[in-house]
C-alpha cells in the first residue's frame, strides 16, 4: 500500500499486542520500524511510489457531515458482526458434515470454493483480481464501469457470504483485502443513499460529499472492525489520501465500527462469546462434587477446580487449544 507507518502499526496490533510485555522480544518495535523503512524504500525504488490502488481526492463539505460518518461507522460494525456470525455458522455446518459423512478433509475446502465460484457466476466482482474492484468502487459516479448503488449493495452482501463460506470451509485466505472491498461497497452505498435522501428532502442541497468519500472511510471502518486493527486502519487511509481533513470522520467511524461488535458480542453472565466453540470445554467443580471421578482434592476447602469436560469434547469434536483457553476463566 506504500504506507510505511500503517505497516508498522499493523505488525504491532496483530502480533505484539497479544503478547505480554515481559514475553515480547527486546527491540521488536525498533526492528519492525526498520523493516518497514527498508521494505518501503526497496519497493519505491523498484516499483515506484504508486499505491495499490488510485485513491480519489477526499472532500468534506462541512462539519455537519460528521454525524453521517458516525452512522456509517456503526453500519460497518454491524456488517462485521453479520460476517462473524456467518463464519461461525458455516464452520459449524462443515463440522456437522464432517461428523455426519466423514468425507476426506480436502473435500470441505473444495465445497467452499465451489460455493464461492457459483456466487461469482452472478457477481464476478467478488473475486480477487488485485484491487481492481476496489478502484472501480472508489470512482463511483466518475467512470462508466463503476457499479451503481443497487449493484454495490448486492456485491457487498455477496462478498460477505462468499468470504464467510470460504473461511468456514477451511480455505486458507486473509480478511484484509475482502474487508477493504466490502467496506468500499458499503461506504459508497451509504454515501450515495444519504445524498439522495438529503437532496430529496432539501432540493438543491449539496451538503453531502460524493459516494467515494464515504467509500474511503467505509474501507477503514470495516477493516478495523473485522480485523481489530483500528490504528492501522486510520493510518493506512491517512497515508493513502494524505489529507488531514479525513482524520476526524475517519477516527469517528473507526471508533464506532470497533465499538459495535464489542457490545454485540459481549457474552452474557456465565456464557462464553458466540464466536467461540459451541460449548465450553470446562466445568466448575464444587466441594460437593468431590466424590465424582473428576474431583481432585486440594489443600484449601474453599478452592474450586477447573476440569476439562471430556463429554463436551466428544460431542463437539476436538477444538484447538487456544479456543478452549480463550474461554477458560480462572
The predicted model gives 35-42 an average pLDDT of: 91
Same-domain check for residues 125 and 191: yes
Instruction: Please indicate whether residue 265 or residue 264 has the higher confidence score (pLDDT).
Output: 264
Q: How far, in Å, CA of 80 to CA of 155, rounded?
A: 15
60 lies in which domain range? 55-264
At 308 the three-state DSSP class reads strand
pLDDT grade, residue 13 (50/70/90)? confident
pLDDT grade, residue 286 (50/70/90)? very low
Same-domain check for residues 123 and 258: yes
The predicted model gives 147-175 an average pLDDT of: 91
The predicted model gives 126-137 an average pLDDT of: 85
Residue at which a domain ends, from 234, 264, 294: 264
Are the CB atoms for 171 and 145 separated by under 8 Å? no
At 248 the three-state DSSP class reads helix
Are the CB atoms for 190 and 45 separated by under 8 Å? no
Is 0.85 topped by the overall pTM?
A: no
Q: How far, in Å, CA of 223 to CA of 226, rounded?
A: 5
Same-domain check for residues 33 and 77: no
**What pLDDT score does 23 carry?**
62
The predicted model gives 219-238 an average pLDDT of: 93
Mean of the per-residue pLDDT values of the chain? 80
Instruction: Tell how far CA 39 is from the center of its chain.
Output: 25
Asked if the model's pLDDT at residue 292 lies above 50, the reply is no
Pairs from 93-97 (Cβ < 8 Å, separation ≥ 24): 93/168, 94/168, 94/169, 94/170, 95/316, 95/317
pLDDT grade, residue 174 (50/70/90)? confident
H or E segment and range at residue 284: strand 282-285
Same-domain check for residues 90 and 148: yes
Same-domain check for residues 43 and 75: no
Q: How far is CA 2 from CA 192, 231, 235, 274, 329, in A?
A: 29, 16, 12, 37, 42
Residue 310 domain-assigned?
A: no
Same-domain check for residues 12 and 81: no
**What pLDDT score does 156 carry?**
94
Same-domain check for residues 122 and 84: yes
Give, in degrees to the nearest 5, the angle at Cα 135 between 131 and 137: 120
Residue 295 domain-assigned?
A: no
**What pLDDT score does 282 carry?**
33
**What pLDDT score does 71 carry?**
96
pLDDT grade, residue 275 (50/70/90)? very low
Are the CB atoms for 212 and 249 separated by under 8 Å? no
Residue 288 domain-assigned?
A: no
CATH of residue 174 = 1.10.3080.10
Residue 293 domain-assigned?
A: no
Residue 271 burial (CB count, 10 A)? 11
Same-domain check for residues 9 and 96: no
Same-domain check for residues 2 and 151: no
Same-domain check for residues 117 and 195: yes
The predicted model gives 123-151 an average pLDDT of: 78
Same-domain check for residues 42 and 59: no
List, for residues 60-116, the tens digit of each pLDDT value: 877 778 999 999 999 999 999 999 999 999 999 999 999 988 889 899 999 999 999
List, for residues 177-217, the tens digit of each pLDDT value: 899 999 999 999 999 898 888 877 777 666 788 888 899 99
Residue at which a domain ends, from 233, 264, 295: 264
Same-domain check for residues 233 and 198: yes
- When divided into structural domains, the chain yields a total of 2
Q: How far, in Å, CA of 142 to CA of 137, rounded?
A: 10
**What pLDDT score does 78 carry?**
96
Amino acid at each position: 500500500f506504500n504506507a510505511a507507518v500503517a505497516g508498522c502499526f499493523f505488525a504491532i496490533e496483530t502480533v505484539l499486542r497479544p503478547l505480554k510485555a515481559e514475553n515480547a522480544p527486546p527491540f521488536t518495535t525498533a526492528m519492525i520500524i526498520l523493516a518497514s523503512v527498508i521494505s518501503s524504500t526497496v519497493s519505491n525504488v523498484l516499483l515506484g511510489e504508486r499505491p495499490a490502488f488510485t485513491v480519489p481526492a477526499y472532500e468534506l463539505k462541512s462539519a455537519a457531515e460528521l454525524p453521517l460518518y458516525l452512522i456509517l461507522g456503526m453500519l460497518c460494525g454491524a456488517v462485521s458482526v453479520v460476517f462473524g456470525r456467518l463464519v461461525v455458522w458455516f464452520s459449524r455446518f462443515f463440522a456437522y458434515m464432517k461428523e455426519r459423512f466423514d468425507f476426506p478433509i480436502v473435500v470441505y475446502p473444495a465445497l467452499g470454493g465451489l460455493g464461492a465460484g457459483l456466487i461469482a457466476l452472478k457477481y464476478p466482482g467478488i473475486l480477487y483480481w488485485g484491487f481492481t474492484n476496489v478502484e472501480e468502487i472508489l470512482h463511483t459516479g466518475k467512470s462508466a464501469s463503476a457499479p451503481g448503488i443497487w449493484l454495490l449493495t448486492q456485491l457487498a452482501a455477496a462478498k460477505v457470504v462468499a468470504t464467510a463460506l470460504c473461511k468456514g470451509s477451511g480455505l486458507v485466505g486473509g480478511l484484509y483485502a475482502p474487508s477493504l472491498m466490502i467496506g468500499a461497497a458499503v461506504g459508497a452505498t451509504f454515501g450515495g443513499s444519504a445524498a439522495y435522501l438529503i437532496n430529496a428532502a432539501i432540493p438543491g442541497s449539496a451538503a453531502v460529499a460524493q459516494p467515494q468519500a464515504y467509500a474511503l472511510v467505509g474501507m477503514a471502518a470495516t477493516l478495523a472492525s473485522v480485523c481489530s486493527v483500528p490504528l492501522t486502519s486510520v493510518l493506512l487511509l491517512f497515508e493513502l489520501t494524505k489529507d488531514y481533513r479525513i482524520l476526524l470522520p475517519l477516527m469517528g467511524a473507526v471508533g464506532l465500527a470497533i465499538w459495535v461488535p464489542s457490545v454485540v458480542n459481549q457474552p452474557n453472565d456465565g456464557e462464553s462469546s458466540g464466536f467461540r466453540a459451541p460449548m465450553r470445554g470446562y466445568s466448575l467443580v464444587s466441594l460437593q462434587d468431590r466424590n465424582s471421578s473428576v474431583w481432585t482434592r486440594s489443600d484449601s476447602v474453599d478452592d474450586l477446580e477447573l476440569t476439562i469436560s471430556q463429554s463436551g469434547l466428544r460431542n463437539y469434536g476436538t477444538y484447538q487449544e487456544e479456543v478452549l483457553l480463550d474461554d477458560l476463566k480462572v
